[in-house]
Structure 1
Amino acid sequence: MAITSANQLELLQTAEAVAREKMIDPGLVVEAMEESLARAAKSRYGSEMDIRVSIDRKTGRATFTRVRTVVEDDELENYQAEMTVEQAKQYLEDPKVGDQFIEEVPPVEMGRIAAQSAKQVILQKVREAERDRQFEEFKDRVGTIINGIVKREEYGNVIVDVGRGEAILRRNEKIGREAYRNGDRIRCYIKDVRREARGPQIFLSRTAPEFMAELFKMEVPEIYDGIIEIKAVARDPGSRAKIAVISYDGSIDPVGACVGMRGSRVQAVVNELQGEKIDIIPWNEDVPTFLVNALQPAEVSKVVLDEDAERIEVVVPDDQLSLAIGRRGQNVRLASQLTGLDIDIMTEAEESERRQKEFEERTKLFMDTLDLDEFFAQLLVSEGFTSLEEVAYVELDELLVIDGVDEDTANELQARARDVLEEQARAALERARELGVQDSLVEFEGLTPQMIVALAEDGIKSLEDFATCADWELAGGWTTVDGERVKDDGLLEPFEVSLEEAQNLVMSARLQLGWVDLADLEADEAESDSDDDTAEEAEA
């Protein structure tokens, strides 16, 4: 079949029909046809030739041309598609490297094999264009809710028809044991859209916390308008969830607005989530207050927050413990997800027992080291003294407020405490020498003999060794492993050295050794301060 004998407009009509069916640009289909015809022509004239085809967008006429490019003499490799400057003078006036000589060649007769090849090229190009259109359409819809129809189920994964493509709801993204049949309508959250070799893949979810947030946005106009904001969501899909909300309008109760008249709004979300129980909690900037709200319906007696460790201790009445923990730890787990803190729950009895144990340990410490009777040692602990250092170096007035303590007694107490501390320091220094600690570390300002022993026992015996330490190795910290916070014990953590103090100590060691230049350090700090000021001005 020769192209010239075919109805030239038929090409354009075919391109428009395919484009309409696949909802892609007709120009892309015409380009695919041009490429397929060029490939067919190459099979006729020779694969080494640079044959190009141009289809007129108005008449449908296909023009076949051969292109030859002018190259340097030593770069000539393909005689069919390239020629030297000397050879080009036969066809071009004043040819230069990079010029092209284009000549029209007769249209080819398309045999059965060539026609089949052309069809494959067109289908491939159309598929690629369709995939690109699908990816472009759905990539901007990540983070939104979409309605679809269940097409089939494969190995527990649900294939969903979302209009102009298919999406997948994996079995671990389904709520509980919910099952779907072909033709069921389904509402999901678009979690991710990826461009893959087999085409764009749209991944759906019904277990994502964001799905619940988007459902509330659909049901509560105040959230959509920005009057109420969802600050955090924690879910145990299909069972229970907690959602923290805040209102930016003092006249609107965020919890009441989300619940709705007779629970109509929250019930609509509950029904969509297969009966998942939802606790709506008022968000608060004060973390302990927010946590008390998050542990509802349990009552909380006391909250102790450790910001450095991002942990929080919660004391509850004995009869509220099971309620605070929840079935299989569900309530405290959701509260932990909501606040982003690790939560330790204990009863009032357990806390009292722990405090009593600490009281007894400190009492024994003062009795043994200061040679005091039990009553006097308990007096010191009751007044808040926890260590020998506090007794030895506290202002005298703070000891005089204790009943029965006069100035002579206070001086005697401090003298005994200092003697004990000096003896402990001397013994620690001897131990450090036995371990082979160098003078450079012993004489380094900021480390006590006890700290030096702790470092030496871990192999740090010189100032150079100390200068190579990381701040977290000294002060300790927390690392997240597989979603769980894991404690990293610091060498100097028992001596209550903070992360900032550890940083300063290590930097001082490096300055002393000449590893860091003070001028460069000051310049870096000045630049950092300048960047901070610029950022603050930008925010303002």
Structure 2
Amino acid sequence: MAITSANQLELLQTAEAVAREKMIDPGLVVEAMEESLARAAKSRYGSEMDIHVSIDRKTGKATFTRVRTVVEDEELENYQAEMTVDQAKQYMENPQVGDVYSEEVPPVELGRIAAQSAKQVILQKVREAERDKQYNEFKDRVGTIVNGLVKREEYGNVIVDVGAGEAVLRRNEKIGREAYRPGDRVRAFVKDVRREQRGPQIFLSRTAPEFMSELFKMEVPEIYEGIIQIKAVARDPGSRAKIAVVSYDGSIDPVGACVGMRGSRVQAVVNELQGEKIDIIPWNEDTPTFLVNALQPAEVSKVVLDEEAGKIEVVVPEEQLSLAIGRRGQNVRLASQLTALDIDIMTEEEESKRRQAEFEERTKLFVNTLDLDEFFAQLLVSEGFTNLEEVAYVDLDELLVIDGVDEGTAEELQARARDFLEAQNRAALENARSMGVEESLIEFDGLTPQMVEALANDGVKTLEDFATCADWELAGGWTTVDGQRVKDDGVLEQFDVSLEEAQTMIMTARIMLGWVDPAELEADEDEVEEAEE
């Protein structure tokens, strides 16, 4: 095939036809043709030549151009595509390194092999354009709901036609034992869109909590308009779910609005989710109050919150225990997901036993360390004293409020507590030094002798060792693994060291060692504050 006046317009007609069929820009098809013709020309004139092809968008005329670049003498490698400054003088005036000289060459005639190669290039370019179009269309639809038709099922994964391409509804993203046949309509949440070698991959989900949120947004106008906000969603797909909502208009009940007249709104969502039971819960800023709501329909007697540990204890009457936990722990598990807290549920009787055990343990501590009789030790515990430090360093007036304690008795109690603590400190320091702990760590501000001993037992014996620690390694923390919160024990956690305190101590050690410049640290903090403002 020769590119002559007889078929110049045919090139443009072909490009337009392909573009219409594939719904892509005709210019992309023309560019693909230009590249394919350039490749064919290189096979004719030589692969080392730099041949460019330009097709006129109006007439379809293809112009073949040989391009040569001016380079330094010592950099000349490809004689067909490059030339020196001296060589360029016969073609150009005052040539400079980097200049480009172009000259038109005769069009090539495409043989069968060259024509086939050109066709492959064009098809490849068209496929890439299709993929880019599909990716660009769906990358902005992540987080929305799409409707599609089931095309086929492969190994439990459903292939869905979503209009501009195919999407995958994986087996683990289907609700329960959902089964689909070709031609069935399916509604799903666009969870992710990835650009891969074989083209953009669109992943759908019907089990994602966001799917339920989007369904409620479609059914409840107040949510769509922003009057009601969904604060949290927890799902056991196909079985049960909890959704927390809050209203920013005092005249609108968020729960009632989501339920709808005679349950019409929530029922529409339930039907889409294969009968999944949905508890609609009023959200509250106060975490214990929110948790009490989240554990509905169970009644709660008392809530004890440990914000630092992200843990909460719930006390319920004996007859409410099974209801609070739910079948196979479903109710408490969903409430935990909804509040992002670890929840321990116990009965009133279990809590009473635990409190009694704590009372006896503290009583025994004071009996053994302060040489007190059991009755006097119980008085201390009843007044809220939990450890020796509180007794040793509390204001004397707080001891004098205890029945039968005068000033002399109070001073004697504090003296015994301080003597015991000092003996403990001496023993801890001796043990730490015997394990090779350096004085720089022993004298570090903020570390007690018991802390130094605990660090030594964990292999931290120098200030450098301490400075390389992470805050959670000292204070402990929580990690989410496979949707479950897992406890990370901290070396100094037993001494009630918070994450903030651990961060401060570690940064102080790094400054002392010269690893961190305080001026740079202050500058970074200023930038963060400005960004927050």
Task: Name the CA shift for 1:226/1:502 in 2 (closer, same or farther; >3 Å).
Answer: closer
Matches within 5 A, 1:20-419: 20-419=20-419
| 265-274 or 43-52, larger mean C-alpha shift | 43-52
The superposition leaves residues 482-502 of structure 1 with CA deviations (integer Å, 9 ceiling, x where unpaired) of 444333333333333334444
Q: Distance in 1 between matches of 2:4 and 2:119?
A: 18
The superposition leaves residues 182-217 of structure 1 with CA deviations (integer Å, 9 ceiling, x where unpaired) of 001111111111111111111111111111111111
Task: Name the CA shift for 1:94/1:499 in 2 (closer, same or farther; >3 Å).
Answer: closer
What do you get for the CA RMSD once the two structures are aligned?
A: 2.7
Task: Name the CA shift for 1:217/1:411 in 2 (closer, same or farther; >3 Å).
Answer: same
Asked whether the equivalents of residues 5 and 61 of structure 2 are also in contact (C-alpha less than 8 Å), the reply is no
Partner of 2:10: 10
Q: Distance in 1 between matches of 2:77 and 2:520?
A: 57
SS of alignment partner, residue 305 of structure 1: strand
The superposition leaves residues 333-379 of structure 1 with CA deviations (integer Å, 9 ceiling, x where unpaired) of 11111111111111111111000111111222223333333333222
Asked whether the equivalents of residues 245 and 283 of structure 2 are also in contact (C-alpha less than 8 Å), the reply is yes
Task: Name the CA shift for 1:225/1:378 in 2 (closer, same or farther; >3 Å).
Answer: same
The one-letter amino acid of 1:403's match is: D
Asked whether the equivalents of residues 311 and 342 of structure 2 are also in contact (C-alpha less than 8 Å), the reply is yes
SS of alignment partner, residue 352 of structure 2: helix
The superposition leaves residues 458-498 of structure 1 with CA deviations (integer Å, 9 ceiling, x where unpaired) of 44556665565554444333344444433333333333333
SS of alignment partner, residue 123 of structure 1: helix
SS of alignment partner, residue 51 of structure 1: strand
Q: Distance in 2 between matches of 1:135 and 1:361?
A: 64
Task: Name the CA shift for 1:105/1:411 in 2 (closer, same or farther; >3 Å).
Answer: closer
Partner of 1:515: 513
Q: Distance in 2 between matches of 1:331 and 1:340?
A: 14
Asked whether the equivalents of residues 54 and 63 of structure 2 are also in contact (C-alpha less than 8 Å), the reply is yes
Q: Distance in 2 between matches of 1:93 and 1:516?
A: 61
SS of alignment partner, residue 10 of structure 1: helix
| 310-319 or 4-13, larger mean C-alpha shift | 4-13
Q: Distance in 2 between matches of 1:108 and 1:432?
A: 87
SS of alignment partner, residue 372 of structure 1: coil
Q: Distance in 1 between matches of 2:174 and 2:151?
A: 16
Give the gaps of 5 or more residues in structure 2. Answer: none
Give the CA deviation at 1:527: 3.1
Give the CA deviation at 1:22: 0.5
> Please, what TM-score do these two structures have when normalized by structure 1?
0.90
| 406-415 or 150-159, larger mean C-alpha shift | 406-415
Task: Name the CA shift for 1:320/1:31 in 2 (closer, same or farther; >3 Å).
Answer: same
The one-letter amino acid of 1:263's match is: G
SS of alignment partner, residue 366 of structure 2: helix
Q: Distance in 1 between matches of 2:503 and 2:469?
A: 10
| 144-153 or 417-426, larger mean C-alpha shift | 417-426
SS of alignment partner, residue 297 of structure 1: coil
Task: Name the CA shift for 1:119/1:274 in 2 (closer, same or farther; >3 Å).
Answer: same
Matches within 5 A, 1:472-491: 472-491=472-491
Partner of 1:527: 523
The superposition leaves residues 25-73 of structure 1 with CA deviations (integer Å, 9 ceiling, x where unpaired) of 1111112222222222333333333333222221222233333334344
Give the CA deviation at 1:528: 5.0
> Please, what TM-score do these two structures have when normalized by structure 2?
0.91
Q: Distance in 2 between matches of 1:60 and 1:210?
A: 51
Q: Distance in 2 between matches of 1:108 and 1:403?
A: 111
Matches within 5 A, 1:418-433: 418-428=418-428, 431-432=431-432
SS of alignment partner, residue 4 of structure 1: coil
Q: Distance in 2 between matches of 1:249 and 1:169?
A: 38
Give the CA deviation at 1:274: 0.7
Percent of aligned pairs sharing the same letter: 84
Task: Name the CA shift for 1:496/1:193 in 2 (closer, same or farther; >3 Å).
Answer: closer
SS of alignment partner, residue 384 of structure 1: coil
| 421-430 or 310-319, larger mean C-alpha shift | 421-430
Partner of 2:454: 454
| 263-272 or 446-455, larger mean C-alpha shift | 446-455
Q: Distance in 2 between matches of 1:30 and 1:460?
A: 68
Q: Distance in 2 between matches of 1:7 and 1:509?
A: 78
Give the CA deviation at 1:99: 3.7
Give the CA deviation at 1:421: 3.6
Give the gaps of 5 or more residues in structure 1. Answer: none
Q: Distance in 2 between matches of 1:101 and 1:430?
A: 84
